[in-house]
Chains A and B, each alone.
Chain A
């Protein structure tokens, strides 16, 4: 498992480096001391750019479109954090499994009611990221806390068994590769990240905003799986829930 992760992270880092080179070349790299001939963009221009994407949430429109490059590096930062937790805690060896302490019936009943609700809110925040506040990052974490709740009630072992440990560990990296490829392909085609892989749609509907929905979905899945990986490692190595 460990060498698989190493090769995956190498691939990811390589792809990111390639992505950086392509994007920097595409935008025309301007180092320090070289005069910037283009004037800085005004706020009104940014709003115009954002509205051009068809997304109602201007913040999403900027960080998943014209500033997609920054966002992808941010996703990489999160992946490296997950990888760090995974490596250092795996290196400590698997401790004796600790039986989870059964929670009181209050917690169990409340979890039954709250779990579907939390997952639904996480999905909503992710999918509607381009229309209302939210997006993949927050939606993924919200859904991740839902899994944490499930783990408190059922124990991490049961939750991991139901979801599949290997699938989760791999999904974390597969989604990262997905995000990199989806971001890289348009850039490699010598088009700016403003390219939309999905049709623009009519503003205000779920199927609008072009690629933003796709990126939000991928980031949401990635953050959801990543936060669960962190939680599982902490629980496995630090004691029962």
Chain B
């Protein structure tokens, strides 16, 4: 008798937890748990027939059908190169300006946001192969490509050339490739380096001692962008509208100041 009341009292809480989940899969698991509790309540209320049906349909079949339904459509897959301030892992969480923008876009599209961190040069490949919907992580506008869409700029950046100690000065250095953590390792060891960096990456590297290197800034006006796979025009439109709204409402400024104080 007591167990029945305890389970009954739990039901609204489980329902609330299921409703409050941001990720759809967790919400569906919450609904399955709700069904299971409800089946227990039915069973304790001497309605075993109803309990069996509730367990079979609510907890098993409906849960599976929901999982199947969201399996492919419910995701916004982002291929990102990790950049502090823009999109980076902080413990279990992800943070950064671009993450925040993408998170809002995914929420307004009703999609689960999934971020795959990759070396910078692989981001575009992932998009072209259809393995990801959006590319992020300090991307600078590229030449026209009919299979990739670009969003309006969200943050001005610049080119920094970093070279030394023994490397020759040159007007054109190889743009950055790979993982930023490798570059930071190299810079901390003071090993030879000749690379062209964007603002966010340069800021991340300049937290360490760059005395051994020479730095030059290019005067080109550049901005970061997101790349969106051309097969996802809806996502591109939503992201573009979101960026325009954020800029006109001034929220974008606040977000930038929060991540780049």
Q: A135-B49, A138-B49 are in contact. Are A238 and B71 (CB under 8 A)?
A: yes
Can you report 28 residue pairs joining A to B where beta carbons are below 8 Å apart?
Answer: A59-B49, A60-B49, A125-B52, A133-B52, A134-B49, A134-B52, A135-B49, A137-B53, A138-B49, A138-B56, A138-B57, A141-B56, A141-B57, A141-B60, A142-B52, A142-B56, A145-B61, A145-B64, A148-B61, A230-B65, A231-B64, A231-B65, A234-B65, A235-B68, A238-B71, A238-B72, A239-B68, A239-B73
Q: Which residue of A lies closest to B48 (CB)?
A: A133
Kindly identify, within residues 109 to 150 of chain A, every residue whose CB is under 8 Å from any CB belonging to chain B.
125, 133-135, 137-138, 141-142, 144-145, 148
Tell me the smallest distance from the CB of B54 to a CB of chain A, in Å. Answer: 9
Query: Is B69 within 8 A of A238, CB to CB?
Result: yes
Tell whether B51 is near chain A: CB-to-CB under 8 Å. Answer: yes
Question: For this complex, into which size category does the number of interface residues on chain B fall?
Answer: 10 to 19
Q: In the assembly, what is the distance between CA of A138 and CA of B60, in Å?
A: 11
Number of interface residues of A (CB under 8 A): 23
Q: A residues engaging B (CB < 8 A)?
A: 57, 59-60, 125, 133-135, 137-138, 141-142, 144-145, 148, 227, 230-231, 234-235, 238-241
Contact of A148 among B48, B52, B64, B71 (CB under 8 A): B64
Contact of A138 among B52, B71, B73 (CB under 8 A): B52
Q: B residues engaging A (CB < 8 A)?
A: 48-49, 51-53, 56-57, 60-61, 64-65, 68-69, 71-73
Query: Is B69 within 8 A of A234, CB to CB?
Result: yes
Q: In the assembly, what is the distance between CA of A60 and CA of B69, in Å?
A: 33
Sorted nearest first, the 9 A-B pairs with minimum C-beta distance are A239-B72, A133-B48, A141-B56, A138-B52, A138-B53, A145-B60, A133-B49, A234-B68, A59-B49
Query: Is B51 within 8 A of A231, CB to CB?
Result: no
**Chain A contact residues: helix, strand, loop or mixed:** helix
Query: Is A239 within 8 A of B49, CB to CB?
Result: no
For A239, the chain B residues whose CB sits under 8 A away are 68, 71-73
Q: A135-B49, A141-B53, A145-B61 are in contact. Are A240 and B72 (CB under 8 A)?
A: yes
Q: A141-B53, A141-B61, A145-B60 are in contact. Are A231 and B48 (CB under 8 A)?
A: no
For A57, the chain B residues whose CB sits under 8 A away are 49
Query: Is A144 within 8 A of B61, CB to CB?
Result: yes
Q: Which residue of A lies closest to B59 (CB)?
A: A145
Q: In the assembly, what is the distance between CA of A137 and CA of B49, in Å?
A: 10
For A137, the chain B residues whose CB sits under 8 A away are 53
Q: In the assembly, what is the distance between CA of A230 and CA of B64, in Å?
A: 11
Q: A138-B52, A239-B72 are in contact. List 5 more A-B contacts (CB 8 A).
A: A137-B53, A145-B64, A238-B71, A239-B73, A241-B68
Q: In the assembly, what is the distance between CA of A125 and CA of B52, in Å?
A: 9
Q: In the assembly, what is the distance between CA of A147 and CA of B52, in Å?
A: 18
Tell me the smallest distance from the CB of A197 to a CB of chain B, in Å. Answer: 23
Contact of B68 among A138, A142, A238 (CB under 8 A): A238
Determine which residue in B61, B68, B73 has the highest number of CB atoms from chain A within 10 A of its CB, and name it: B68
For A234, the chain B residues whose CB sits under 8 A away are 65, 68-69
Contact of B73 among A134, A142, A238, A241 (CB under 8 A): A238
Determine which residue in B52, B56, B71 has the highest number of CB atoms from chain A within 10 A of its CB, and name it: B56
Tell me the smallest distance from the CB of B251 to a CB of chain A, in Å. Answer: 35
For B72, the chain A residues whose CB sits under 8 A away are 238-240
Tell me the smallest distance from the CB of B63 to a CB of chain A, in Å. Answer: 10
Q: In the assembly, what is the distance between CA of A241 and CA of B61, in Å?
A: 14
Q: Which residue of A lies closest to B73 (CB)?
A: A238
For B57, the chain A residues whose CB sits under 8 A away are 138, 141
Tell me the smallest distance from the CB of B109 to a CB of chain A, in Å. Answer: 17
Tell me the smallest distance from the CB of A146 to a CB of chain B, in Å. Answer: 10
Tell me the smallest distance from the CB of B70 to a CB of chain A, in Å. Answer: 8
Q: Which residue of A lies closest to B60 (CB)?
A: A145
Determine which residue in A138, A230, A239 has the highest number of CB atoms from chain B within 10 A of its CB, and name it: A138
Q: In the assembly, what is the distance between CA of A134 and CA of B52, in Å?
A: 7
Q: In the assembly, what is the distance between CA of A9 and CA of B60, in Å?
A: 28
Q: Which residue of B lies closest to A142 (CB)?
A: B56
For B48, the chain A residues whose CB sits under 8 A away are 133
Q: In the assembly, what is the distance between CA of A197 and CA of B109, in Å?
A: 56
Tell me the smallest distance from the CB of B44 to a CB of chain A, in Å. Answer: 13
